[in-house]
Structures are given as C-alpha cells and as structure tokens.
Amino acid sequence: MKKLLVLLLALVMVLSLAAPALADEPVEITIWHLFGEADTPGHPHVFYTEWAEKFNAEHPGIHVTVLGGKSATDIQTAIAGGTTPDIFMNYWNNAPQWADAGALLDLTPYYESDTEFDYEDIMPGALAISWYKGSFYSVPNTYSTTFMFYREDILADAGWDHFPADTDELLQCIKDTTEANEDGTIKRLGLLPNMPWLDTEMWSAAFNSEWLAEDGETVTAASESNIAWLEYIQSIYAFYEEEFGWDALTINDFGDTVRGNRATPNDPVLTGEVAMRWNSENLQANLAENGADVNWKMAWFPNAPGTEATALLTSNVWEINAKTEHPDEAWEALASLTGKENQQVMAAGEYGNGQFYARRSTLEYLRDTLADELGAAKEDPAVGAKVTENIKVISDAMLNGNLRAFPCCSFVNEYLNSISANADMVFSAGMSPEEAMQMVVDEIQPLASADPFVGYGK
C-alpha cells in the first residue's frame, strides 16, 4: 500500500507539472454550442472554428473561443454561476423562461441599430420564436421543418401513383401499404405513428389546430381539432390491431428497433420496413448517401382535408449571457457568426448536403446557387442530382410554405411536456383523447391565465 501511495504521489506531481496553464486575453468571448467537437469536413464545429479563426484575425481587439459538446443543463449551471460563456446555443423553447429569469441579454437595441445585421432578412417564423414580451432575446440559427419521406415503388405497387394529398388519403395509403409476414409478424407498416417520436406539434400543425386561442390565454388543447389528430392516430393503431392483430405494444416495440436504425443504411424507409415516415429535412442527406439505389422521395406532410396547408417550424437559437462583461463585443461576434456572409458559408454544411438557416438570403442562395454546386461536388452523379433536387425542394418550401411554430410563451416547456406525456397516456394507457387533453388544460390553464401569451409584433 505504501509503495502504491508513493508511486501515486510521484505520478501526480509529474502530471501536475505537465498540466497546462491558462493565459489571459484582453477581451475574451467564449461561445458554447450543443454540437459535438469533430473535425469532419462539413460538421458544424468545423464551421464555427473556421469562422472564429477568421473573426479573430479581422478583430484584433476580440478573441473568440468556441467550445462544443455542452448540454443545455451545463450551460444553465455555468451562466447561473458566472460570466462564462458569453454566447451560447439554446433550444428556442427555453428562451421565454430564461428571459423571464433574467439570464438572457435583451438584444432588441442591437437588432434595431445594427443595419448590417438586417434582421428583416430573417424568416418571420424564426423571428416569432426569437421574440418574447416585446424584446428579441435570441438570434435564430437553423431553420427546420418536417417532411414525409416515402418509397415511391412501394406506393406504386399498392396502386398509389401520387403521394397522399390529405390525411384521409394518407390513412388509406397506410392501409394499402402495410404488409405482414407469413407467420403474421410485421413485414411493413404504412406509417409508424410515433417514429421517430410522437411529434405532437407536427400532428397539430397537420390538423391546423391551435394550442392557444386568439386571446393568448385560453388553452385550447381540448379543442375539436386537437382531439381529431389524437383520434386519427388511434385509428391507425386500430387498423393495425383489427386487420393484423398487432396491438399498440407490438407496434411500439417494432418502433424501438427502427428508431435505432434511423439515418443509417438500415433506415426503415430504405429497408422498406415502413412505407412512409416523417423526419426533419436533414434526413435527405443521409438517405441520398445511403440509399442511392432505392426509390425514395420526399413530400410535405399531408394536412387534414379542407384545412390550409401548414407545417411545423423549429429552430435552434443563439443567445447572449445577461452577465457578460462585454455585451458589445459579444454582439459583434454573434452578428458576424449569424450574418449574411457567414450564413452563406455555413449553408454548405451538414457534410456538404446543405444546412438550412433562418435567413431569407441564405435560403435563396442555397436554392439558386449552392444546390447545384453541392450536387456537382458529389462523387456519384446520381447522388449529386438527388442532393441538388432535394435542397431546391426544401429551400423553396421553406421560403414559400406556411410554417408556424408553437407559441413562444412563458409556459412553453410545461405545455410541451404536458401534451406529450398526456398524449402518450392515450396510446400507452388507453386513456381517451378527451380525458388526456382535459388533463393538459387543467395543468396549463392556470399558467396561461397568470401570464398570457403575446404574439410576435403585438
């Protein structure tokens, strides 16, 4: 034991001598983001570090450091206790509560005075989720929505020469494309109602239902249209049960496996384990790479019949620590990071398959110029053609589609959690949609009454 201790002491001393020292910089701006730190070309961290190098060279008075791999909880703890980081990435839905808590710097003065930043270039939907109670607290970063990815060949075999135009057609298409093995087990599902997860916001967008009434304080979770999409999902489960004897548990167990294979060469769309599935737009890159010889396509998620076509919008955002010692320098860095010029550079991201950012100019550049360049850069021309086509489709849809986000209110996290947990009660515990959504109303209405939601620009 003694020998071991001596040995340990010696090692410790050697190591502590070798431990590096930290040098002080005059105006140090630290940026933390939520992605990993990789040096694969096309990875976000690579773009950030390249931008930081360039920025540091051009701005001798500021030194920017970029660190990745942080979680929202790490960031929370750090900014609750101090001035680091100055700038951080966040999920848009955290902004209202963090802003109320005084954690976020109010960026409105900068938005208004920085003409080069040109905030009107940012897509209105993304601005809406950066805006809270009269102020901008976030700068939108990515711009993301949901698409349907489907197998053209499987649909054709089932007699579908077009993709379902509305949810009624979708249900019929699900029925037509679902198949069992000879032993009665699942061969293919038309659609997995909770793959990659039960995306309650997307479903409500498809059924054009609202979570809050016009007044901003009446919780409408139990509205007819919200009950409607829950019943719609129930009808999919019911079909599987009645037609094939697969209960919800069987479907969900099937879902567990395909969930682990998504965005790989064994993605259920590529293997044909599902005929259709939804995902955010970035799946196209993976499918293009992995499924060059598979006949897959993408389409808008169908809407309920007779409703206006809307789709879900999500975004991640950048924010500035309210305690930062150098707010002006932090803004200067952030404005450069999210500025027109740099966004165009970063649009080549997602491993060279196009990354969609919230600026109109960036999306247009992506559609009109970059899509062709990125496609041409692919080794396999077939893959390249597909990448080009998809980028054009997606950026065009983002520029012209009717995208809407969940209300950016002070109780957004409670509301989102409550919806998904109670919706899950419908499918896991057999609760009725009305009862489940009434529980959401009971939980959220007091919060909404206490602090009503005020929409963007009101």
Q: Which of residues 61-80 bind another protein (CB under 8 A)?
A: 65, 67-74, 76-80
Site residues for another protein, window 7-46 (CB under 8 A)? Answer: 8-9, 11-12, 15-16, 18-20, 22, 30, 34-40, 43, 45
Binder of another protein out of 134, 245, 265, 305 (CB under 8 A): 265
Shortest approach of another protein to residue 427 CB, angstroms? Answer: 9
CB 45, min distance to another protein, A: 7
Is residue 249 at the binding interface for another protein, with CB under 8 A as the rule?
yes
User: x-or-dash pattern for another protein, window 429-448, by CB under 8 A?
Assistant: x-------------x-----
Taking the least distance from each CB to another protein, the nearer of 60 and 102 is 102
Query: Residues in contact with another protein, total (CB under 8 A)?
Result: 88
The label of the residue with tokens 């053209």 reads 152
User: Could you say which of 41, 53, 82, 235 contacts another protein (CB under 8 A)?
Assistant: 82
Report how far apart, in Å, the C-alpha atoms of 220 and of each of 167, 264, 419, 441 are.
22, 38, 11, 7
Among 250, 361, 402, 438, binds another protein (CB under 8 A): 250
In DSSP terms, 152 is beta-bridged to none
The answer to whether 277 contacts another protein (rule: CB under 8 A) is: no
Closer to another protein at the Cβ: 335 or 441? Answer: 441
For 367, other C-beta atoms within 10 Å of its C-beta total 20
Query: Which residues in 403-432 contact another protein (CB under 8 A)?
Result: 413-414, 416-417, 420-421, 423-425, 428-429
Binding-residue pattern over the window 195 to 224 for another protein, x denoting contact by CB under 8 A: -xxxx-------------------------
DSSP character for 195?
S
C-beta separation of 321 from 172 below 8 A: no
DSSP three-state, residue 119: helix
Contact between 449 and another protein (CB under 8 A)? Answer: no
Task: Specify which residues 212 forms β-bridges with.
Answer: 219
In the three-class reduction of DSSP (H, G, I as helix; E, B as strand; rest coil), residue 238 is classed as helix
Site pattern 296..335 for another protein (x: CB under 8 A) = --------------------------x-------------
Nearer to another protein, 194 or 303 (CB): 194
Quote the least distance from Cβ 205 to another protein, whole Å: 15
Cβ 84 to another protein, closest distance in Å? 6
Neighbours of 311 (CB within 10 A): 20
Helices (H), 261-380: 268-271, 283-290, 327-337, 340-346, 349-352, 360-365, 371-376
**Is residue 256 a contact residue for another protein (CB under 8 A)?**
yes
Please, which of residues 380-399 interact with another protein by CB under 8 A?
none
Which secondary structure element, helix H or strand E, spans residue 404, and what is its range?
A: strand 403-404
Name the 3-class secondary structure at 156.
helix
Please count the residues of the chain: 458
Kindly calculate the radius of gyration of the chain based on its CA atoms and give it in whole angstroms. 24
Q: Is 181 in the site for another protein (CB under 8 A)?
A: no
Rounded-to-5 percentages of helix, strand, coil across the chain? 50, 15, 35
Q: Does residue 97 bind another protein (CB under 8 A)?
A: yes
Report d(CA 229, CA 433) in Å as an integer: 9
For helices 433-450 and 224-244, the axis angle rounded to 10 degrees is 150
Name the residue nearer to another protein (CB basis): 13 or 382.
Answer: 13
138 contacts another protein (rule: CB under 8 A): no
Q: Cα–Cα distance between 246 and 241 in angstroms, integer?
A: 5
